[in-house]
Amino acid sequence: MKLLSSNFDIDLYINRIVPRSRIHLLPKPISWFLGYREEPTKPVGSIIIWFWSFIGAFAGILIIEAVFRTPGLHSHGTPIVIGSLGAAAILEYQVIDSPLSQPRNAILGQLFSTIIGVGITKLFQHSQNFEDIRWIAGALAVGLSSVVMGVTKTVHPPAGATALLAATSPDITDLGWFLIPLVLIGSTLMVASACVVNNIQRQFPVYWWTAASLRKPSESDIEKVGPESGVSDVYEGENIGMNLILVDRGRVLVPEWLSLGYEEKALLDSLRDRLEAGDKRTQRSESTASGMSGQTAI
């Protein structure tokens, strides 16, 4: 009797309907500031990282505070800024290659946690002893937020602070459901400013939705073979032995005995796609060189 797996990956279901990125089709200046690169970005030194993290955090928080001070928002009792956005600024401008910093996590993690934080607080406010049990509401909000972010693969540590503030900080609690659009505005502005500042000398985001390849190979691309051949999935390839993994242009060969998770398979697919893209660039270069040579001969 097989035991039920304790693993769950929501992307196994969601990524089937998520379209592939089309950012590369945009004009180069726009795609550049949205994180697209034809070639990998060269790493920069720590001093440059510190410099741009200062500029980014300063500018990002300043923009959010300026927006929060506009009459339309200030009239609702909006604070100068929501404290958890300060923690988000460190992620968005300092460790920009972390999965915790990517737009999916930065925006959706904050959204889910805010909804949970406000919802839990509203339920606890039905009690006449709310002030005495407010601390329990805060702990419950953070716990539930952690689970939801884990399930949806949107883990963003500052979002836990947002859920906690919604329950335990009186001025944030008083905002009620209005906290949700405030957090969305703040998170979106943070990501937008990060796209500008971080892409001057670095690259952000690394991805908008997932690092996994969203390529959906057709049935004609995949040949299923049995244990006798030694591989489980072959992309226009053939057996290479029991203890080897081959990633080549147009094919990925994996031993039959090796069980791979979704992200591992996606990584192999991503490597294959990059090899295919590199091959196409090489062919274009050779074609151009050949054309120039032909014109010289004429």
Q: What is the pLDDT along the chain (298 residues), one digit of tens a residue?
A: 445 567 888 998 898 888 888 898 999 999 999 999 988 888 899 999 999 999 999 999 999 999 999 999 988 889 999 999 999 999 999 999 999 999 999 999 999 999 999 999 999 999 999 999 999 999 999 999 999 999 999 999 999 999 999 999 999 999 999 999 999 999 999 999 999 999 999 999 999 998 877 765 444 444 443 444 333 444 333 444 556 777 766 677 776 666 666 667 777 777 777 777 766 666 666 666 555 555 544 3
- Residue 255: in which H helix or E strand, if any? strand 251-255
Q: Enumerate the domain spans of the chain.
A: 11-200, 243-286
What are the φ/ψ torsions at residue 35 (nearest 5 degrees)?
A: 100, 0
pLDDT at 187: 97
Using CB atoms within 10 Å of the CB of residue 103, give its burial: 0 to 12 exposed, 13 to 18 middle, 19+ buried: buried
pTM of the model: 0.73
Cβ-Cβ contacts under 8 Å for 8 (sequence gap 6 or more): 151
Per DSSP, the residues of 91-147 read HHHTSTTSGGGSHIIIIIIHHHHHHHHHHHHHHHTTSTTHHHHHHHHHHHHHHHHHH
pLDDT at 41: 83
pLDDT at 221: 43
Antiparallel, parallel or unpaired: β 231-234 and 223-224: antiparallel
Sheet containing 223-224, strands listed edge to edge, beginning at the edge strand earlier in sequence: 223-224, 231-234, 251-255, 246-248
User: In the 8-state DSSP scheme, what is residue 246?
Assistant: E
pLDDT at 236: 38
Q: What is the Rg, in whole angstroms, of the alpha carbon atoms belonging to the chain?
A: 24
